[in-house]
């Protein structure tokens, strides 16, 4: 395919060069005929040039539909040789200055055709040139010569041109052969270079770490597949952007570019940075930067390699939160039991004192305050105990859409009754969101999250709840337009006693987190001060086949439990699927 492509290009180039040379020849010979008495048959010469033009145009058309380029090259060389002989005859035979066209045709033949063709064309050129001179010398055809050399001079002219033609054929063939060898070597070298470049590109795009290269000005020049995937953008979108624009935190820098002697030991600096992807999902990346250097040259730019630490940092935060929650839970359980007993005695004593007739209004008002505070303290202790106790979960196939819709319906009635100015917007991207969960507990999660969102919007706003599928998860996003939170508040939002609302115990979101962890789900918050907050809950969704399998498994467990236990405990066996 490559050879055919080269021959086609050479043939197209030959047509262009031929037309240019014919134009110059006609112009020069016409000018010479006007200012010299040479017997040039201008009409015959013009007709020959015009016929040559027509052949060139025909060859252009022939090139577009005839694929035998080798035959076309031979045909063009032979017709050019005949027409050169005709032009030499018309411009004076042995007096013609256009016999240099023969070597040009020989050179073209050596380029377009195999090497043996150069010798054949040289021999044919000698025969045609000698025939033209002999026919002119003996008057067989009309002669346009201005001189009449002798026989020996004529023979000398013929044989000098013979040796010239043969020498041109030999040198052109040798040079063309060398050029073809160099071309083959160049193709082989180019192929090896392309293979090496492809290998390097495959290596760069196959590594799991993200890789970005920039120029000295910090603009991105190369992005591998892992980097594009981590940043949730395509390589085309990232190309040319300032690398610092992609991250929220300052990137590490190479303080002092290494010299030539330091290239093998170039310093690598690293740091953890955050970035917001186009999906508004914030990621944490570990970035390492080093100079992009080439031996014996100055640094060309910088190389940024980074790894995604988002999931690792999330798990670390969850472990820290779970450790804190466990410690607080144990402490709350111990304190709650110790406080509740004296609190009950205090409440009973206050109740008895309130019935004493000798007490005045001030005393009764003080007793009312004591009673209310005792009740509030009892409610807090009840929440502590609810948080610290091991909970029983009844897992089953549930659809999140009805649970969310029921919660929002209750919230709408409440908002309308209280005239809070809050509107609720549903964005259910899917019709069904099947999960394996405890429906009552998950509804409690939705209620607590919506309750917090409503409390955050004191002056009214919009509560938006979106339900959609994200890969293998069902995602529920609850967004408010309230006052938002600081990064410090987000960091501790699921820890106990972190309430941002007046009168709150700070256990609502801690319970939410506890329930979500029991469901092996994920929950996190996104927020900025003054821009509202979004709480995102993800639970693993189940397909129809999985639902049927779970139902069959649960049914067989219930049957086995009922068969294994006596009749009096049958009611207890019905809850065999519960787990803590």
123 vs 161: CA distance, rounded Å: 11
Instruction: Please give the full DSSP string across 502-571, using - where no structure is assigned.
Output: TT--S-HHHHHHHHHHHTT-EEEEEE-TTS-EEEEEEEEB--HHHHHHHHHHHHHHHHHHHHHS-GGGHH
How would you classify residue 204: left for phi > 0, otherwise alpha for psi between -120 and 50, otherwise beta? alpha
CA-CA distances (angstroms) from residue 143 to 37, 48, 95, 500?
A: 15, 16, 11, 115
How far is the first Cα of the chain from the last one, in angstroms, to the nearest whole number? 72
Fold of the CATH domain 393-542: Heat Shock Protein 90 (3.30.565)
Three-state SS for 476? strand
Where do the structural domains in the chain lie, given as residue ranges?
2-188, 207-308, 322-388, 393-542, 549-579
What pLDDT, on the 0 to 100 scale, is given for residue 315? Answer: 81
Look up residue 409 and give its two tokens.
Answer: 């319906």
Closest by alpha carbon to 476, among 484, 488, 466?
Answer: 466
What pLDDT, on the 0 to 100 scale, is given for residue 564? Answer: 42
What pLDDT, on the 0 to 100 scale, is given for residue 38? Answer: 61
The residues, any chain, with a CB within 8 Å of residue 304's CB and separated by 6 or more, are 210, 211, 212, 213, 214, 243, 251, 287, 288, 289
Closest by alpha carbon to 435, among 284, 546, 333?
Answer: 546
Three-state SS for 412? helix
479 vs 485: CA distance, rounded Å: 13
pLDDT in tens, the chain (580 residues): 344 446 667 777 777 777 777 777 777 776 766 666 666 777 787 788 788 778 877 877 777 777 777 787 788 888 888 888 888 887 777 777 777 888 888 888 887 777 788 888 888 888 888 888 888 877 777 777 777 777 788 778 888 888 888 888 888 878 877 877 787 788 778 778 777 777 777 788 778 888 888 888 888 888 888 888 888 888 888 888 888 888 888 888 776 444 444 444 445 577 888 888 777 677 888 888 888 887 777 788 888 888 888 888 878 877 877 777 677 667 766 776 677 677 777 777 777 777 777 777 777 777 777 777 777 777 777 766 666 666 678 888 999 999 999 999 988 888 888 888 889 999 999 888 999 999 888 998 999 899 888 888 888 889 999 999 988 889 999 999 988 888 888 877 887 766 666 555 567 788 888 889 889 898 988 888 888 899 999 999 887 544 455 555 555 554 444 444 443 332 222 233 233 3
Closest by alpha carbon to 164, among 91, 102, 248?
Answer: 102
Residue 452 sits at the vertex; the CA angle it makes with 276 and 280, to the nearest 5 degrees, is 10
Give all strands (DSSP E) within 216-364, no chain letters: 220-223, 269-276, 282-292, 301-308
Second-level CATH architecture of 207-308:
2-Layer Sandwich (3.30)
How many CB atoms are located within 10 Å of the residue 422 CB?
A: 23
H-helix or E-strand spanning residue 59: helix 42-65
How many CB atoms are located within 10 Å of the residue 478 CB?
A: 23
193 vs 209: CA distance, rounded Å: 25
Q: 489: exposed, middle or buried (C-beta count within 10 Å: 0-12, 13-18, 19+)?
A: middle
Three-state SS for 461? strand
H-helix or E-strand spanning residue 427: strand 422-428
475 vs 560: CA distance, rounded Å: 35
Phi, psi of 431 (to 5 degrees): -85, -30
What pLDDT, on the 0 to 100 scale, is given for residue 568? Answer: 34
Closest by alpha carbon to 53, among 30, 24, 32?
Answer: 24
Class of domain 322-388: mainly alpha
């Amino acid at each position: 395919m490559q050879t055919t492509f080269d021959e086609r290009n050479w043939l197209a180039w030959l047509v262009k060069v031929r037309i240019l040379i014919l134009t110059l020849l006609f112009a020069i010979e016409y000018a010479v005929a006007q200012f010299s008495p040479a017997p040039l048959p201008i009409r015959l010469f013009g007709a020959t040039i015009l016929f040559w033009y027509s052949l060139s145009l025909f060859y252009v058309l022939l090139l577009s539909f005839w694929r035998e380029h080798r035959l076309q090259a031979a045909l063009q060389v032979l017709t050019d040789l005949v027409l050169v002989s005709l032009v030499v005859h018309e411009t004076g035979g042995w007096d013609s200055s256009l016999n240099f066209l023969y070597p040009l045709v020989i050179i073209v033949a050596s380029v377009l055709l195999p090497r043996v063709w150069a010798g054949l064309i040289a021999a044919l050129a000698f025969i045609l040139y000698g025939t033209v001179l002999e026919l002119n010398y003996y008057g067989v055809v009309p002669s346009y010569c201005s001189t009449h050399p002798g026989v020996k001079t004529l023979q000398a002219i013929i044989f000098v041109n013979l040796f010239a033609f043969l020498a041109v054929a030999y040198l052109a063939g040798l040079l063309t052969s060398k050029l073809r060898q160099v071309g083959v070597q160049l193709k082989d070298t180019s192929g090896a270079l392309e293979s090496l470049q492809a290998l390097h590109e495959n290596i760069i795009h196959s590594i799991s770490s993200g890789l970005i290269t920039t120029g000295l000005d910090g603009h991105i020049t190369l992005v591998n597949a892992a980097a594009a995937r981590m940043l949730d953008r395509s390589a085309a979108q990232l190309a040319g952007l300032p690398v610092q624009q992609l991250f929220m935190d300052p990137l590490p820098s190479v303080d002092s570019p290494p010299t030539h002697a330091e290239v093998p030991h170039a310093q690598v600096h690293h740091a953890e940075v955050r970035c917001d992807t186009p999906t508004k999902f914030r990621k944490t990346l570990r970035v390492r930067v080093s100079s992009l250097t080439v031996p014996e040259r100055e640094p060309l730019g910088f190389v940024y390699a980074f790894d995604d630490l988002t999931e690792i940092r999330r798990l670390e935060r969850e472990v820290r939160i779970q450790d804190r929650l466990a410690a607080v839970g144990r402490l709350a359980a111990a304190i709650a039991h110790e406080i509740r007993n004296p609190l009950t005695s205090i409440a009973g004593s206050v109740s008895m004192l309130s019935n004493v007739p000798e007490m005045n209004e001030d005393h009764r008002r003080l007793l009312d305050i004591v009673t209310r505070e005792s009740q509030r303290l009892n409610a807090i202790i009840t929440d502590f105990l609810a948080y610290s106790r091991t909970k029983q979960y009844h897992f089953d196939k549930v659809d999140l859409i009805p649970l969310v819709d029921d919660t929002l319906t209750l919230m709408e009635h409440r908002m309308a009754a209280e005239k809070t100015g809050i509107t609720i917007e549903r964005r259910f991207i899917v019709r069904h969101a099947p999960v394996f969960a405890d429906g009552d507990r998950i509804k409690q999660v939705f209620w607590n999250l919506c309750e917090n969102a409503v409390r955050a919007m004191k002056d009214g706003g919009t509560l938006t709840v979106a339900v959609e599928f994200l890969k293998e998860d069902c995602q529920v996003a609850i967004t408010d337009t309230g006052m938002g939170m600081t990064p410090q508040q987000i960091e501790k939002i699921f820890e106990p006693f972190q309430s941002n609302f007046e009168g709150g115990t700070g256990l609502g979101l801690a319970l939410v987190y506890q329930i979500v962890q029991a469901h092996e789900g994920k929950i996190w918050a996104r927020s900025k001060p003054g821009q509202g907050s979004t709480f995102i809950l993800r639970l693993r969704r189940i397909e129809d086949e999985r639902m049927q399998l779970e139902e069959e498994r649960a049914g067989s467990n219930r049957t086995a439990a009922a068969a294994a236990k006596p009749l009096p405990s049958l009611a207890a066996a019905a809850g065999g699927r519960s787990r803590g």
